[in-house]
């Protein structure tokens, strides 16, 4: 296996592994162990680094694939580009808007779910969750593709 292929697969594995660890292990533990507002603050501080990690891993994977000049397969490259687009959407659109909305919500524990800012935040959170699962699914597909 050429060195570039190894780097590409490692970058994808680190990206998907980090996303899976953050989504399925770290975040649930934080929200289970801490009050809702405190957990939200901590996770909110982690999101920018989380997205930078995904963008860095994705960029490395894409660069190595491009250097391989298509020897890794067009479908895999399309999946990787889609994953990068989704992560960019989360990093540069969803996350800043969600952070701004959180500032309008004094407390998630005491603010009613019907509050307009809380409803808007919930919609963004739902979109982000679907995006995150799509990135993880794409990454799993890339890890198992030949």
| pLDDT tens figures, 11-39 | 999 999 999 999 999 999 999 999 999 99
Average pLDDT, the chain: 93
Local confidence band at 66 (pLDDT 50, 70, 90 cut-offs): confident
Whether the CB-CB separation of 51 and 87 falls below 8 Å is answered with yes
Closest CA to 121 of 31, 26, 37: 37
Q: How many CB atoms lie within 10 A of CB 103?
A: 8
Task: With H, G, I as helix, E, B as strand and everything else as coil, classify residue 92.
Answer: helix
pTM of this structure: 0.91
Q: Kindly tell me if the per-residue pLDDT of 87 is higher than 70.
A: yes
114 phi/psi in degrees, rounded to 5: -80, -10
Q: Kindly tell me if the per-residue pLDDT of 72 is higher than 60.
A: no
| CA-to-CA dists, residue 141 to 13, 54, 78, angstroms | 11, 16, 12
Average pLDDT of the segment spanning 75-81: 91
| CA-to-CA dists, residue 14 to 57, 99, 102, angstroms | 7, 26, 29
Q: Kindly tell me if the per-residue pLDDT of 134 is higher than 90.
A: yes
Local confidence band at 103 (pLDDT 50, 70, 90 cut-offs): very high
Helices within the chain (DSSP H only) = 3-21, 27-33, 36-67, 74-89, 95-104, 116-144
């Amino acid at each position: 296996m050429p060195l570039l292929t190894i780097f590409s697969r490692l970058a994808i594995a680190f990206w998907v592994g980090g996303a899976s660890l953050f989504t399925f292990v770290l975040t649930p533990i934080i929200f289970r162990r801490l009050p809702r507002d405190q957990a939200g603050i901590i996770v909110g501080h982690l999101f920018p680094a989380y997205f930078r990690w995904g963008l860095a891993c994705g960029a490395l994977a894409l660069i190595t694939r491009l250097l391989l000049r298509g020897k890794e397969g067009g479908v895999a490259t399309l999946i990787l580009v889609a994953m990068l687009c989704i992560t960019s959407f989360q990093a540069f659109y969803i996350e800043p808007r969600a952070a701004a909305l959180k500032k309008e919500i004094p407390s998630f524990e005491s603010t009613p779910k019907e509050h307009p800012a809380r409803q808007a935040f919930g919609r963004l959170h739902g979109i982000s969750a679907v995006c995150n699962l799509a990135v993880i699914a794409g990454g799993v597909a890339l890890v198992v593709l030949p």
